[in-house]
Structure 1
Amino acid sequence: MNAHQEQPYDGEGAQVIPLDAARRDGAGPGPLERGIASGLAFLRRRLAGEYKVDEFGFDPEFNATVLLPLARALYEHWFRVELSGLGNVPAGGGALIVANHSGTLPIDGIMLSVALHDHAGRHVRLLGADLVYQVPLLGHLARKAGHTLACQADASRLLGKGELVGVFPEGFKGVGKPFADRYKLQRFGRGGFVETALRARVPIVPCAIVGAEEIYPKIADLRPLARLLGLPYFPVTPTFPLLGPAGLVPLPSKWMIQFGEPMTLDEYEPEDADDPMTVFELTDHIRENVQQMLYDTLLRRGPAFF
C-alpha cells in the first residue's frame, strides 16, 4: 500500500491497521497476550509429550514455568530475601550446599532453590526425607523440581554429574524444633553428607538461612496426633490450628541467606570417608561454621518483621 492508497476501515468505521504495521508502530501483543500465548504453547508441549525429564524425574520446563514463579512471589514480595556470599557458590561442577533447617514446614528449601536458580544460575538438587516422597502429590512435585531422596547413592550420582546438591543435616530435628530453640542447630546426623563429599571429591559450601524460624513459631507439639498420622510432629503455632487453613499462611518475616567460603577437601583421600574420626571432625567443624554464620546473619538482619 503506497501513501496515496486509503487505509481500510471495518464495518464500524474504525481504521484497520495491518498486523505488520501495528508491530512496527509498537502496537504489537502486550504482556497479557504474550503470557497467554506462552501458556498455550506450554500446554501444547505437555499434551504432545514434547518435554524431557532426567533419571530423577527433574522436569526443567515445568519447574521454570509452574513451580518457580509461585515460589518467587513469596521470595521477592513476602519474605523479601536478601543474599550474601553468592560468589562462594561454584559457577559449575559438583558441590554440596550444607544449610540449617527450620520453620515447621520446609519452606526454607524452596527459598534456597529460588535464590540459587535466579541469582547463581544453578539448579540445586535438594535431598529430602522419605516422608516427602510418601505423600503422592508432594513427592511428585518435589521430583519435578529436581529433588530426590536423602541417600548417598542418589547424592553421589548427582555430584558425579556435576550437579549442585543441597542437604539439611538436621532433618526433622531442625525443621520441627520449638520456637524457644530458634537458631540453635540440632545434631548433624552421622555425617553421611561428609562421606559423600569425600568420595565425590567436591567442595562443601556452608549456608545459613535466617527468617524461616519466625514463619510458623512452634509453641507446642500434639504428639499423640502426630503418631496417629504417622508424622514426626504435629505443630501448634499462634495461628494453627486455631485459625484453620488460614493458619497455614506463613508470617512475613524478613529473610537473609548467607553462603560461606567453600571447604575444599583436596587434602583428603576418598578412603578417608571410611574413617569415623575424620568424618566426625569434619561434620563438627561444618556445624560450628554454620552456627557462627547464623549468629552473624541474625545480628545483621535485626528485627524479624521489618
Structure 2
Amino acid sequence: MSEARIIPLHATDDEALPRWRPSESSGRSGTSAADDDADLGLPPEPDTEPEPAAWEEALGETLAFLRRRLSGDYAVDDFGFDADLTDNLLLPALRPLYQKWFRVETIGMRNVPDIGGALVVANHSGTLPLDALMTAVALHDDHPARRHLRMLGADLMFRLPVAGSLARKQGSTLACSPDAERLMSSGELVGVWPEGFKGIGKPFRDRYKLQRFGRGGFVSAALRTGVPIVPCSIVGAEEIYPKIGDLKPLARLFGAPYFPVTPLFPLFGPIGLIPLPSKWYIEFGEPIQTDTIDPADADDPMTVFNLTDQVRETIQHTLYRLLSQRRNAFLG
C-alpha cells in the first residue's frame, strides 16, 4: 500500500519534483517508513504504546484485587496471615499516617537481614500501639526486600471484635515462645515489644524510660532458633497521646489495663482520638548474633538475663542519643 508524499505547490526550476515509486516505502533496502518521515520533516512514530496513567494502573490493581477476593484466589498461612489483603488494603491505609502525619524516617535499615529469620525488639509507647504498626510499614516500604513483620501481641488484642481479626490477617500472633520459634524457624521476620502494656500505658512524665523487659522469653526463642536479634528504637510515639491520667474505674469496666486521660481525650470526645503529628525516627541497631551461643543455654537464666539486659541497654542508649539530636518533638 502506497503512502502519499507531500509535493511543493510552487516548485522552482532548481527544485526537481520528486518522483514517487512504490518501492521507496516498502521494497527499498536499508530504509524504513521512519526514515521517510525523517526526510520529510515529520515526527517519528512512537516505538511503543504510551504508558497508562497512574489512575488507570490503580484502577486495574483494585479490580484485580477484588477479583481475587471474590474468587478466593489468595493464600492464608497457618497463623491467619493474608499477604494479599495486607499489601493491598491494610498497609495502604496506614501509609498516610506513616508518610504525611508522622513523617517517619528510618535509620540503619541495612541491619535488618534481607532473608531468613530474625527478631526485631523495640521499645513500646504512645498509649495506643501505633508504634508497632508504623514499624511494620517501615520494614515493608523502606527495606530493600520489602519484608513483612510478624508481630507478637498480647491476648487482649486478639479478643477485640474487629482489630483482633485484622491483626491476624496482617500477620500478628500471640506472644508465646512456640509461635515465635515456629515463625523464626521458617525464615520470618518477627517483631516483639517486651514492655507490653507497661510501656504504652506509662505516664507522659516517664516518656522514653524503658520499663522492665519481662522474663526474657523473646531471648530464649531467639537462642533456640539461632536467629539474630535486631534492637529497634522508636522516637516520636510518646508524644502522640500524652497520658496525664488514668481512669481506673472505667478501665476495670471495659476490662482494659488502663483508661487514658490526655490533654484532648476524653474532654474533646472523638476529636481527642486524633494522634498529635509528632516527628518520628525509627532506628534499627546492629544485630546481636545468637548462632554462636549453644541453644541449650536458652534454659540458662543467667545467659538469658545478660542478653536481655544487653538488648534493653542498647535500645535505651539509642533513645537518649536520638533525643539529644532532636530539636523539637513535632518538627524534628
Identify whether the pair has TM-score above 0.5, normalized to the shorter chain: yes
Separation in 1, partners of 2:46, 2:165: 44
1:253 is aligned to: 278
Three-state SS of the structure 2 residue aligned to 1:98 is: strand
Three-state SS of the structure 2 residue aligned to 1:166 is: strand
Kept in 2, the 8 Å contact 1:256–1:301? The answer is no
Given candidates 286, 290, 293, the residue that maps to 2:318 is 293
Given candidates 61, 77, 100, the residue that maps to 1:54 is 77
Q: Does 1:112 align with 2:135?
A: yes
Matches within 5 A, 1:44-83: 44-83=67-106
Q: Does 1:132 align with 2:157?
A: yes
Matches within 5 A, 1:1-306: 26=50, 29-120=52-143, 121-306=146-331
Separation in 2, partners of 1:184, 1:49: 46
Q: Deviations over 1:208-259 (max 9, x none)?
A: 0000000000000001110111000000001111111111110000000011
Shift of 1:22: 11
In structure 1, runs of 5+ residues without a counterpart are: 5-20
Shift of 1:30: 2.6
Separation in 2, partners of 1:2, 1:259: 67
Separation in 2, partners of 1:22, 1:223: 70
Shift of 1:263: 0.6
C-alpha distance 3-254 of structure 1, shift in aligned 2 (>3 A): farther
Match of 1:277, as an amino acid? Answer: M
Q: Deviations over 1:30-86 (max 9, x none)?
A: 322332232122111101101111111111111011011111111111111111111
Three-state SS of the structure 1 residue aligned to 2:231 is: strand
Match of 1:168, as an amino acid? Answer: W
Separation in 1, partners of 2:230, 2:54: 39
Three-state SS of the structure 2 residue aligned to 1:216 is: coil
Three-state SS of the structure 2 residue aligned to 1:136 is: coil
Separation in 2, partners of 1:215, 1:228: 25
Q: Deviations over 1:93-115 (max 9, x none)?
A: 11100000000000000100011
Match of 1:88, as an amino acid? Answer: N
Shift of 1:269: 0.8
Q: Could you tell me the percent identity over the aligned residues?
A: 63
Separation in 2, partners of 1:25, 1:86: 38
Q: TM-score scaled by structure 1?
A: 0.91
Separation in 2, partners of 1:34, 1:182: 44
Match of 2:299, as an amino acid? Answer: D
Larger-Rg structure: 2
Separation in 2, partners of 1:265, 1:24: 53
Separation in 2, partners of 1:228, 1:62: 34
Shift of 1:2: 8.3
